[in-house]
Amino acid sequence: MPIPVVDQLRTLHAWSPLLGYLRRISTTLDARERAVVLGDMAEWLAEKTNTKFDDRLASRVAAVLKTPEGVELVREFVSIADQIADTMPQEPNS
């Protein structure tokens, strides 16, 4: 049974902050800013559940990402993702 349009819009509205975080991550060039946004996103996602465990874990992950070591970790992940993207076949221009 298809999901009613109203329910689809509610779901989109409820999860739209996640799209905003992903947009900010993809458009931000500064590794420190990406780390901060990733930490904020982890905390936002954790708040969507009813457990305290993931709230505490997300809070700690966010704190680590905001350190110099966390920024370097994010920089390394971005570098790896860029390398993987470079090996993906490109769509021909139409």
> pLDDT tens-digit profile of 21-32?
999 988 988 888
Q: Stretch 33-46: mean pLDDT, rounded? A: 89
Q: What is the pTM of this model?
A: 0.67
Domain ranges (residues) in the chain: 24-85
pLDDT at site 34: 87
Query: Which are the contacts of 58, defined by CB distance < 8 A and separation ≥ 6?
Result: 42, 43, 45, 46
Confidence of residue 16 (pLDDT cuts 50, 70, 90): very high
**What is residue 2's three-state secondary structure?**
coil
The pLDDT value given to residue 31: 83
